[in-house]
Chains A and B, each alone.
Chain A
Amino acid sequence: EIVLTQSPATLSLSPGERATLSCRASQSVGSYLAWYQQKPGQAPRLLIYDASNRATGIPARFSGSGSGTDFTLTISSLEPEDFAVYYCQQRNNWPPYTFGQGTKLEIK
């Protein structure tokens, strides 16, 4: 089973700042990595698939990069609605497909 490790566990930033979230895989997942956003009391929302492709309706301030074992989700300029928990997910080696433990992005 591939383990995804996200860092940091919590990221404290202010609106307008740039956010950089990391996801590291225990073995290569190629480009088969997705990112999800989850706000309190809500279902997860797909942001990025296959490492760098934005899902339908996702603003351009969200971007993904990386391949192999190291991936990054970048939010170029934080909006108030971006403060949430973010999860990465791999689908290269399954079953099972797996999620990271999450990074909480909080307002500083």
Chain B
Amino acid sequence: EVQLVESGGVVVQPGGSLRLSCTASGFTFDDYTMHWVRQAPGKGLEWVSLISWDGRSTYYADSVKGRFTISRDNSKNSLYLQMNSLRTEDTALYYCAKDSNRQQLVLVPDYWGQGTLVTVSS
């Protein structure tokens, strides 16, 4: 059974930093592209970032480019999101999600974690 468990969400002040983690199980982690998708309270879904299965390719939404960094440690079946220079508009539930096909950038997340809440507030 595929499981994705996010952690690291807390309340942080504007301008602060935070690192989110996602631990994966139930599939061959190093075969799949991974995503971060966020959802502001009461709002819709917004793609944040993705990283290829081998970690060589990363992509970001314009809203986070230059502030967030995605990474992975395939030896630990873990995905990360380093978030710097946080803004109030970054407040959201952050989901980790697995792409649907092995060793491709398919961009169809087929399994999602339950999310971790990041609140940026003074």
Is B11 close to A, CB under 8 A? no
Minimal beta-carbon separation of B98 from chain A (angstroms): 10
Q: Could you tell me which residues of chain A, from 51 to 108, have a CB within 8 Å of some CB in chain B?
A: 55-56, 87, 89, 91, 94-102
From known contacts A87-B44, A87-B45, A101-B44, infer whether A95 and B109 are also in contact, taking CB-CB under 8 Å. Answer: no
Minimal beta-carbon separation of B81 from chain A (angstroms): 16
Minimal beta-carbon separation of A85 from chain B (angstroms): 8
B108-122: CB near A (< 8 Å → 1, else 0) gives 111111110000000
A-B contact count (CB 8 A): 53
Query: Interface of chain A, helix or strand or loop or mixed?
Result: loop
A43 to B5, CA, bound (A): 12
A106 to B11, CA, bound (A): 33
B115 touches A97 (CB 8 A): no
B9-45: CB near A (< 8 Å → 1, else 0) gives 0000000000000000000000000000100000011
B107 touches A91 (CB 8 A): yes
A-B residue pairs, 8 tightest by C-beta: A43-B112, A91-B107, A99-B45, A95-B59, A46-B110, A49-B108, A97-B107, A96-B61
Could you list some 30 contacts between A and B, CB below 8 A? A34-B108, A43-B112, A43-B113, A43-B114, A44-B95, A44-B109, A44-B112, A46-B109, A46-B110, A46-B111, A49-B108, A49-B110, A50-B108, A87-B45, A89-B108, A91-B106, A91-B107, A94-B107, A95-B59, A95-B60, A95-B61, A96-B61, A96-B62, A97-B47, A97-B107, A99-B44, A99-B45, A99-B46, A102-B44, A102-B45
